């Protein structure tokens, strides 16, 4: 009798160990994937900050060149050697502003294709574009002052024309950019959830024992929402168990009128492993 029971028990233990091993491997793979994604984001962010520092350095050079040109422009009469230096500084301003425009445009495209775009980065880009407009105004004022002295500089006229066209294009693209960013942000914050009895969940192929939904599950059965707006879910049941992986410290199951309510206390942490939530209720 004991040998017979042992024969039954050993395969069950081995099966259980194999199941835990598979679940552990699946979690390890998902953890590695998340870690790799985080490393990519860090590398992208470092690259973005390096470009922004380069842009800021260009603005410093532009400011110094503008100060020199402004000082010379305020003189009653421009000497020949001073005019040569004015032209050199104007050329520096033109090249630096052109480079900054291109760098900013490149940043916008890079961020639009990644998940790095945030309100802080958006504000930084807006501030950089605002600086270009400010320097455009300075150049415009200098041109007017030089015109009053009967000094016409072709390079300066061309620079002002190009800058005004660029500002106009930036203003026209603001609305389109905001719509695109809003759409991307909404997509990044999409989550799906469902709760039901084991029978219901199995019927829609969303029942899971290892915390991961298998390929081919019925996505239409899950409700779609924005994680920023989802703070709690009334489960209408006295017993509930989360089947997908979510950190225990990011939520609580509270009783309200004898029924459980899932309260998400830390949305960012709650959804960091998976954007799918499946709950078994009894």
Please report the pLDDT score of residue 5 as a whole number.
46
Please report the pLDDT score of residue 238 as a whole number.
93
Give the number of other CB atoms < 10 A from CB of residue 246.
22
Q: What is the total residue count of the chain?
A: 282
Return the minimum-mean-pLDDT range out of 4-13, 110-119, 191-200, 234-243.
4-13
* Angle separating helix axes 80-112 and 119-148, nearest 10 degrees: 160
The CA distance from 68 to 65, in Å, is: 5
Structure-block tokens of residue 122:
């958006």
> Which residue, among 227, 119, 211, 125, has the nearest Cα to 170 in the 3D structure?
125
Percentage of residues of the chain with pLDDT beyond 90 = 21
Q: Which residues on neighbouring strands pair with residue 175, listed in sequence order?
A: none
Q: Is residue 93 within 8 Å of 62, Cβ to Cβ? A: yes
Residue 132 reports pLDDT greater than 70: yes
In terms of average pLDDT, the best of 34-48, 99-113, 193-207 is: 193-207
The architecture of the domain spanning 30-187 is Up-down Bundle (1.20)
The overall average pLDDT reported for the chain is: 76
Residue 8 reports pLDDT greater than 50: no
In terms of average pLDDT, the best of 58-62, 135-139, 169-173 is: 58-62
Q: Which residues on neighbouring strands pair with residue 256, listed in sequence order?
A: 259
Residue 171 reports pLDDT greater than 50: yes
The CA distance from 89 to 69, in Å, is: 7
Q: Are strands 190-196 and 276-281 parallel, antiparallel or unpaired?
A: parallel
Residues whose CB is less than 8 angstroms from the CB of residue 153 and which lie 6 or more positions away in sequence, other chains included: 86, 87, 90, 143, 146
Please report the pLDDT score of residue 197 as a whole number.
92
Please report the pLDDT score of residue 15 as a whole number.
47
What residue spans in the chain does CATH classification 1.20.58 cover? 30-187
Question: What letter does residue 214 receive in the DSSP assignment?
Answer: P
């Amino acid at each position: 009798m004991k040998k017979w029971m042992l024969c039954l028990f050993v395969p069950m233990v081995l099966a259980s160990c194999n199941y835990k091993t598979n679940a552990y491997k699946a979690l390890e793979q998902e953890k590695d994937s998340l870690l790799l994604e985080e490393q990519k984001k860090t590398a992208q962010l470092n690259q973005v900050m390096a470009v922004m520092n380069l842009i800021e350095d260009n603005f410093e050079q532009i400011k110094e060149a503008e100060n020199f040109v402004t000082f010379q422009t305020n003189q009653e009469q421009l000497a020949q050697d001073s005019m040569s230096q004015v032209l050199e500084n104007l050329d520096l301003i033109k090249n630096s502003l052109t480079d900054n425009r291109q760098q900013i445009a490149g940043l916008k495209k890079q961020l639009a294709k990644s998940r790095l775009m945030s309100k802080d980065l958006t504000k930084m880009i807006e501030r950089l574009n605002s600086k270009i407009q400010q320097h455009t105004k300075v150049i415009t004022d200098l041109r007017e002052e030089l015109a009053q002295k009967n000094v016409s500089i072709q390079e300066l006229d061309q620079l002002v024309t190009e800058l005004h066209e660029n500002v106009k294009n930036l203003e026209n693209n603001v609305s389109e950019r905001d719509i695109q960013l809003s759409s991307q942000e909404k997509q990044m914050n999409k989550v799906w959830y469902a709760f039901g009895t084991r029978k219901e969940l199995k019927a829609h192929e969303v029942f899971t024992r290892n915390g991961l939904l298998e390929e081919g599950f019925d996505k239409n059965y899950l409700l779609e929402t924005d994680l920023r707006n989802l703070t709690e879910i009334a489960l209408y049941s006295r017993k509930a168990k989360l089947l997908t992986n979510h950190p225990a410290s990011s939520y609580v199951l509270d009783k309200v009128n004898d029924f459980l309510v899932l309260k998400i206390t830390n949305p960012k942490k709650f959804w960091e492993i998976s954007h799918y939530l499946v709950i078994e209720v009894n």
